[in-house]
């Protein structure tokens, strides 16, 4: 009797134990046999390769480290496990552990650097920004003599457009006026430079717009916002150049759900199983009214990814004769000193990249033109940039120095970054 009781008990336990052990082999089996088709992950990420065995690498542990990373990256169900983790984070806590994505109130998604910009965490300080404006003035005055129009534009990032949905935990702006945007706006207002404040304009029309200017689950502005932006720029140009450019109007539109990938890219990056809730987005076809232009219009745009959205609409190619786009963070901006080929140069920035504004382009043109202008020649831009960069690096490395800077920033009630940059500038001029 006791025996008959004992056997089934053992059978269940054996079955469960064996099932667990086999389960531990599942990922390895899947890795090699690919029995179940997995949905590939969205976004760009590195998958470590298995290292080749070398004695030196083995001795210093580099081989083992790389092998373990490769094993983790290439294991079967890797993508499933990541999606599961993402889904749990989103469903249970309404958060994203993907470093760059922040889940805001009401499910609005943000990319972190746009929130940092609103918080002023990347504020470069007024000394640095005024220096950029001074350089821009030199470049602008020279370009003007060559009949080239230089326009600076700042567009809203998603953080500044939807500040109301930024999660409270991320609202760490202790100095509301110390943002790159606020400082540039003030500096542009004081100068005679052409400045188009798209951010202010978009916030003005935000509540009255017929179609969404930003999506809930995307990083950038919508197709409609791109249209409004390029149309506003066109009108601005017509006004300052006293010319007439080709007109583009909306022909037709439709609402789509789910939104197209361009309006769902932040959500895609989260890699959840389920669709992240968002609203319908509008997509357009445009009508183009061509008329011969009085003068050949060649446009050069230097901008961040927000201009890519405008480029996608293809509208600029109907307004201007030629359009060239240079991404803001490329090292060679003024290649072959060809800026003078264009009739108009637009430098378009958004919150997230304003800490690098007006990008290498103005720096390089300034360097090129500084020989024309004796007043600014002594700035020795190249050395200045290298020096300040070095100082910033040293501050980061030296905990005592960094602590002192942070203490000073606290005393002066300014952001730490501003204090670092000011310190670097001061050292440059005084050492």
Partner 1 sequence: MVFSSTLFLFGFLPAFLLIYYSLPQKFKNHFLLFASLLFFTWGAPLFVFFVIGSLILDFYLVRKMEQAAVPKQKKYFLLASIVLNVGSLAYFKYANFFVENVNTLVSTWGAGGIVGWTDIALPIGISFFTFKKLSYTIDVYRQTHRSFDSIANYFLFILLFPELVAGPIVRYNEIADQIIDRKDKETIDNKLSGLYRFIIGLSKKVLIANVLGAEADKIFDSSFQLVNTADAWLGIIAYTFQIYFDFSGYSDMAIGIARMLGFTFPENFNSPYSSQSITEFWQRWHITLGRWMRDYLYIPIGGNRVESKKRLYFNLAFVFFISGLWHGASWTFIVWGCYHGLFLIIERIFLNTFYSKIGKLPSMLITFFIVMIGWVFFRAEDLGDAMLYLDKLFVVDLHPTYQIYLIDFYVILGIAVILSFMNLLKFQQAIEKSIYFNFYSNKKTLVLGLICYTLLILSASAMISASFNPFIYYRF
Residue 323 CB, shortest distance to partner 1, in Å, is 19
Nearer to partner 1, 175 or 185 (CB): 175
Cα–Cα distance between 125 and 421 in angstroms, integer? 7
Nearer to partner 1, 67 or 253 (CB): 67
Residue 215 CB, shortest distance to partner 1, in Å, is 14
Residue 31 CB, shortest distance to partner 1, in Å, is 9
Which conformational region is residue 115 in: left (phi greater than 0), alpha (psi within -120 to 50 degrees), or beta?
Answer: alpha
Q: What is the DSSP string of 239-274?
A: HHHT----EEEEEEEEEESSPPGGGSHHHHHH--SS
Query: What does the DSSP 8-state code read for residue 340?
Result: G
Residue 238 φ then ψ, to 5°: -60, -40
Nearer to partner 1, 198 or 219 (CB): 219
**129 near 355, Cβ under 8 Å?**
no
Residue 45 CB, shortest distance to partner 1, in Å, is 4
Residue 61 CB, shortest distance to partner 1, in Å, is 7
SS3 150: strand
All residues at 6 or more sequence positions from 425 whose CB lies less than 8 Å from its CB, including other chains: 127, 128, 131, 388
Q: Beta-carbon neighbour count of residue 262 at 10 Å?
A: 19
Nearer to partner 1, 223 or 419 (CB): 419
Cα–Cα distance between 113 and 352 in angstroms, integer? 5
**217 near 276, Cβ under 8 Å?**
yes
Distances (CA, A) of 95 to 158, 163, 182, 273, 330: 18, 17, 30, 15, 33
Instruction: Return the closest-CA partner of residue 234 out of 242, 245, 222.
Output: 245
Nearer to partner 1, 58 or 426 (CB): 58
Cα–Cα distance between 319 and 298 in angstroms, integer? 10
Residue with tokens 């080239």: 148
**376 near 382, Cβ under 8 Å?**
no
Nearer to partner 1, 185 or 402 (CB): 402
Nearer to partner 1, 50 or 255 (CB): 50
Residue 309 CB, shortest distance to partner 1, in Å, is 12
Which residues does residue 153 pair with via DSSP β-bridges, in sequence order?
196, 348
Residue 296 CB, shortest distance to partner 1, in Å, is 30
**320 near 363, Cβ under 8 Å?**
no
Nearer to partner 1, 294 or 329 (CB): 329
Nearer to partner 1, 148 or 219 (CB): 219
Residue 38 CB, shortest distance to partner 1, in Å, is 13
Nearer to partner 1, 258 or 416 (CB): 416
Residue with tokens 């022909």: 251
Residue 383 CB, shortest distance to partner 1, in Å, is 29
Residue 13 CB, shortest distance to partner 1, in Å, is 5
Nearer to partner 1, 45 or 426 (CB): 45
Cα–Cα distance between 231 and 237 in angstroms, integer? 10
SS3 316: helix
Residue 405 CB, shortest distance to partner 1, in Å, is 9
The residues of the shown chain that bind partner 1, judged by CB under 8 A, are 8-10, 12-14, 16-17, 19-21, 23-25, 27-28, 41-45, 58-59, 61, 64, 67-69, 71-73, 75, 78, 81-82, 84-86, 88-89, 92-95, 97-100, 111, 121, 169-170, 172, 174, 219, 265-266, 269, 271, 304-305, 327, 329, 399, 402-403, 406-407, 410, 416
């Amino acid at each position: 009797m006791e025996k008959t009781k004992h056997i089934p008990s053992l059978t269940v336990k054996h079955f469960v134990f064996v099932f667990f052990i086999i389960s531990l082999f599942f990922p390895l089996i899947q890795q090699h046999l690919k029995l179940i088709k997995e949905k590939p992950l969205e976004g760009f990420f590195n998958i470590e390769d298995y290292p080749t065995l070398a004695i030196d690498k083995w001795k210093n542990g580099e081989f083992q480290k790389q092998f373990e990373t490769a094993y983790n990256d290439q294991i079967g169900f890797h993508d499933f496990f990541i999606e599961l983790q993402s889904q749990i984070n989103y469903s249970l806590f309404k958060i994203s552990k993907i470093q760059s994505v922040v889940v805001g109130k009401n499910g609005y998604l943000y990319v972190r650097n746009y929130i940092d910009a609103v918080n002023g965490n990347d504020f470069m300080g007024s000394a640095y920004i005024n220096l950029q404006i001074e350089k821009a003035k030199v470049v602008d005055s020279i370009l003007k003599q060559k009949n080239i129009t230089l326009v600076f534009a700042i567009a809203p990032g998603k953080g500044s457009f939807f500040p109301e949905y930024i999660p409270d935990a991320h609202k760490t702006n202790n100095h509301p006026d110390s943002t790159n945007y606020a400082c540039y706006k003030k500096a542009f207002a004081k100068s005679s430079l052409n400045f188009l404040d798209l951010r202010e304009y978009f916030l003005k029309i935000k509540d009255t717009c017929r179609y969404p200017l930003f999506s809930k689950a995307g990083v950038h502005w919508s197709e409609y916002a791109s249209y409004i932006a390029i149309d506003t720029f066109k009108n601005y140009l017509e006004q300052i150049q006293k010319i007439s450019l080709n007109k583009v109007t909306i022909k037709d539109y439709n609402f789509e759900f789910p939104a197209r990938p361009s309006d769902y890219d932040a959500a895609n990056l989260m890699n959840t199983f389920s669709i992240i809730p968002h609203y319908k987005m509008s997509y357009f076809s445009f009508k183009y009214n061509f008329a011969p232009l009085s003068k050949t219009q060649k446009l050069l745009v230097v901008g961040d990814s927000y201009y890519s959205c405008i480029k996608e609409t293809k509208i600029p190619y109907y307004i201007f004769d030629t359009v060239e786009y240079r991404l803001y963070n490329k090292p060679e901006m003024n290649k072959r000193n060809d800026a003078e080929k264009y009739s108009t140069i637009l430098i378009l920035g958004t919150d997230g990249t304003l800490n690098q504004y007006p990008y290498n382009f103005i720096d390089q043109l300034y360097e090129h033109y500084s020989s024309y202008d004796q007043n600014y020649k002594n700035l020795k831009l190249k050395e200045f940039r290298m020096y300040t960069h070095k100082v910033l690096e040293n501050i980061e490395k030296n905990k005592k120095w960094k602590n002192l800077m942070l203490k000073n920033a606290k005393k002066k009630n300014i952001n730490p970054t501003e204090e670092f940059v000011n310190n670097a500038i001061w050292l440059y001029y005084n050492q």
